[in-house]
Amino acid sequence: MAEDNNHKNGSKYDASQIEVLEGMDAVRRRPSMYIGTTGSRGLHQLVFELIDNSVDEAMAGFCDNIIVRLHSDGSVTVSDNGRGIPVDIHPQTGRPAVEAALTLLHAGGKFGGEGYEISSGLHGVGLSVVNALARWLQIEIRRDGKCYTQRYERGRIKTPLNETGDTNETGTIVHFLPDSQIFPVRDFSMEIVSSRVRDLSYLNKGLRFVLIDEDAEDKETVFLHEGGIADFVRNLNKNKDVLTPEPLFLSETKDGVVVEMSLQYHTGYTENIFSFANNIHTQEGGTHETGFKTALTRVVNDYARRFGFLKENEENITGEDTREGLIAVLSIKLKDPQFEGQTKTKLGNSEVRGIVDSLVTEFLTNFFEENPGQARLIAEKTVKAAQARQAARKARELTRRKSALDHGALPGKLADCASKRAEECELYIVEGDSAGGSAKQGRNPKYQAILPLRGKIINAEKARLDKLLANEEIKNIITAVGTGIMDEFDLNRARYHHIVIMSDADVDGSHIRTLLLTFFYRYMRQLIEAGYVYIAQPPLYKVQKGKTQQYVYDDHELEKLLGRWKTDHVSINRFKGLGEMDAVELWETTMNPDQRTMLQVNLEDAEAAEQIFTVLMGEKVEPRREFIQTHAREVRNLDI
């Protein structure tokens, strides 16, 4: 019977159909298993793997200078002054150790041996994966008074390891070119690389990075932070009014775990905690972040009770209250980190929670006792946050997501779509009733929903949660989206996977767009991280010559079109707002999936986003003026 099934459809299934991929072939056939994607993120991961190797040398105490060079030909060089990869014969393979590191998966000094006590690499695949996915890779090693070089092509040895001369330096230099057979786009972003390098310079106090871009006007940038993560917090708060003159800073080691923590409160209402484990940004937190939050909540509550900020009949301050206006960076380094998943975004070591909790509790308790003035400011702020939270509780109940089928609970102005499949549904948040009317008439009601806004929403950067939730437009957005906000946020409840901000192409439209992005960033950031938030791109002009008409989206495109059409008998209609378009025009230019252009809002650099929202939407005028003066020449569309 089994034999009959095998031949039922005329195909044979036996051992000959089982394909075994080994070594570099496995990486080249399935690169996404090792670097996540062959897009931009995976491309940059190659550089980060090499940088992390050099940082591991620094954490081991053997390196203090790392150079990253982006070459004009698309190749990259990462060099350090560490010990240099060993070149002697590896006892198990009978080949030079450097060859094992470059050609064998799970070969490295990070498996509990004496090579590295602490490292960000766990699986020994970094260098070999880079080699496998490179068109070519050239490595130079300096150690033991000698210099050695070797070349690889697509993961295979091209030349033997050669001794090329004497040297009194030590270190490793890796120069590689990503393979066009693997990566469709091979353009490295200076911004993405510098963001990673900057974070590493904060996390590794005294480690000097030099980033060189051969195509940039300012070719060389040096990152060196002797203040470590305290400098990180200081930089994040530089445009805010702070409660303490300097960031608090803790650096202690307990049971082999190095804990560094820095925090500082500002007068605003948003919190930002950046946590790291062995230099890896743990975006989903983990046991170290839980220990920190628990300690902070306990110490603030104890202080508030002891000194009468909280009365006996008042409920405790919650963790959410203690983190209002908090900027904190937590960095731990440990020997055997356990990350949940290959993405390494959440730390799972159970013992770390207690270690961080005890160290932070002791540190903050001492600080509050020794600095009563600063402690009082923090306690007063958290108590006010608790009072505002209680006032917001009723308002939040009104915005909490109801059943997706309960249309009676949805905002009255929402023209919902028929489909209940969130992955195909689109919510257009539209400026004004006039544009909302055109959008409702022009949309595809099967999967496109329209939510008109009346005027500008409240500025989420300046308003506390209770005032925010009292704003009718904010309540409508939260209810329509369906996810809830902050601690109650649940991405799985999103009623739409495309949330499109559609505003006029003028100054007011830009302001409304920025207000909405500020709200999403501060209270529904996971929507942006999931790629659900978009910005519609309505045309600026309708250009007509005879019976031919064309929509134009910026001034540069208009100049090119007029150059082709000449200027005889050409009429140009500039759209001052979406309301000037009829339903057909709005559908054809901005809402039709077959023709429209939309910008997806990304969150590649959380620190840069934090600063830009603070500058543009915060209380301080001077940083905003400086930003406008600096970037005025970059403005594309200015409506005066």
Reported as a pLDDT band with limits 50, 70 and 90, residue 395 is low
| The pLDDT of residue 605 is above 50 | yes
Burial of 268 (0-12, 13-18, 19+ CB in 10 A): buried
pLDDT in the model for residue 405? 40
Reported as a pLDDT band with limits 50, 70 and 90, residue 150 is very high
| The pLDDT of residue 247 is above 90 | yes
Q: What are the catalytic residues?
A: 431, 504, 506, 508
pLDDT in the model for residue 120? 58
pLDDT in the model for residue 228? 96
Q: Which helix (H) or strand (E) element contains residue 466?
A: helix 465-469
pLDDT in the model for residue 434? 80
Which of 529, 541, 531, 538 minimizes the C-alpha distance to 573?
Answer: 541
Q: Under CATH, what is the fold of the domain 229-396?
A: Ribosomal Protein S5; domain 2 (3.30.230)
What is the CB neighbour count within 10 angstroms for residue 635?
A: 9
* Phi-psi label, residue 336: left if phi above 0, alpha if psi -120 to 50, beta otherwise: beta
Report which of residues 539 and 169 the model is more confident about. Answer: 169
Q: Which residues contact 163 (CB under 8 A, 6 or more apart)?
A: 146, 147, 148
Out of 97-101, 148-152, 421-425, least confident range: 97-101
Q: pLDDT digits over 545-571, tens only?
A: 888 888 888 888 888 888 888 767 788
How many angstroms separate the CA atoms of 494 and 249, rounded?
39
Reported as a pLDDT band with limits 50, 70 and 90, residue 57 is very high
* Phi-psi label, residue 411: left if phi above 0, alpha if psi -120 to 50, beta otherwise: beta
Query: Percent of the chain having pLDDT more than 90?
Result: 51
Q: pLDDT digits over 129-139, tens only?
A: 999 999 999 99
| The pLDDT of residue 625 is above 70 | no
Q: Under CATH, what is the fold of the domain 23-223?
A: Heat Shock Protein 90 (3.30.565)
| The pLDDT of residue 51 is above 90 | yes
How many angstroms separate the CA atoms of 258 and 356, rounded?
9
Contact 59, 136 (CB under 8 A): no
How many angstroms separate the CA atoms of 50 and 65, rounded?
14
Q: Which helix (H) or strand (E) element contains residue 311?
A: none
| pTM of the predicted protein model | 0.69
Contact 401, 483 (CB under 8 A): yes
Report which of residues 330 and 583 the model is more confident about. Answer: 330
Q: Where are the domains of the chain?
A: 23-223, 229-396, 400-538+583-634, 541-574
295 in helix, strand or coil? helix
Q: How far is residue 611 from each of residues 13, 95, 152, 236, 325, measured CA to CA in Å? A: 59, 50, 42, 6, 14
Residue with tokens 């023209």: 415
Report which of residues 230 and 401 the model is more confident about. Answer: 230
Q: How far is residue 258 from each of residues 32, 144, 224, measured CA to CA in Å? A: 33, 31, 21
Q: pLDDT digits over 430-489, tens only?
A: 987 788 888 999 999 999 999 998 877 888 887 887 888 888 899 899 999 999 887 788
| Bridging pattern class, strands 498-502 and 426-431 | parallel
How many angstroms separate the CA atoms of 469 and 477, rounded?
10
pLDDT in the model for residue 396? 54
| The pLDDT of residue 399 is above 70 | no
What is the CB neighbour count within 10 angstroms for residue 19?
A: 7
Sheet holding 498-502, edge to edge: 448-453, 426-431, 498-502, 533-536, 598-600
| The pLDDT of residue 634 is above 50 | no
Report which of residues 455 and 608 the model is more confident about. Answer: 455
How many angstroms separate the CA atoms of 499 and 507, rounded?
22
Six-digit token string for 443: 């949309």
Query: What is the CA angle 285-288-290, rounded to 5?
Result: 70
Region 400-538+583-634: CATH code:
3.40.50.670
pLDDT in the model for residue 53? 92
Report which of residues 390 and 365 the model is more confident about. Answer: 365
Q: pLDDT digits over 287-332, tens only?
A: 999 999 999 999 999 999 999 998 887 889 999 999 999 999 999 9
| The pLDDT of residue 30 is above 70 | yes
How many angstroms separate the CA atoms of 415 and 418, rounded?
10
Reported as a pLDDT band with limits 50, 70 and 90, residue 541 is confident
How many angstroms separate the CA atoms of 75 and 13, rounded?
44
How many angstroms separate the CA atoms of 138 and 102, rounded?
11
How many angstroms separate the CA atoms of 423 and 130, rounded?
35
Out of 180-194, 434-448, 500-514, least confident range: 500-514
Mean pLDDT, the chain, whole residue set: 84
Six-digit token string for 556: 């540069």
Buried/exposed code over 154-177 (b: 16+ C-beta within 10 A; e: otherwise): bbeeeeebeeeeebeebbbbbbbb
What is the CB neighbour count within 10 angstroms for residue 328?
A: 26
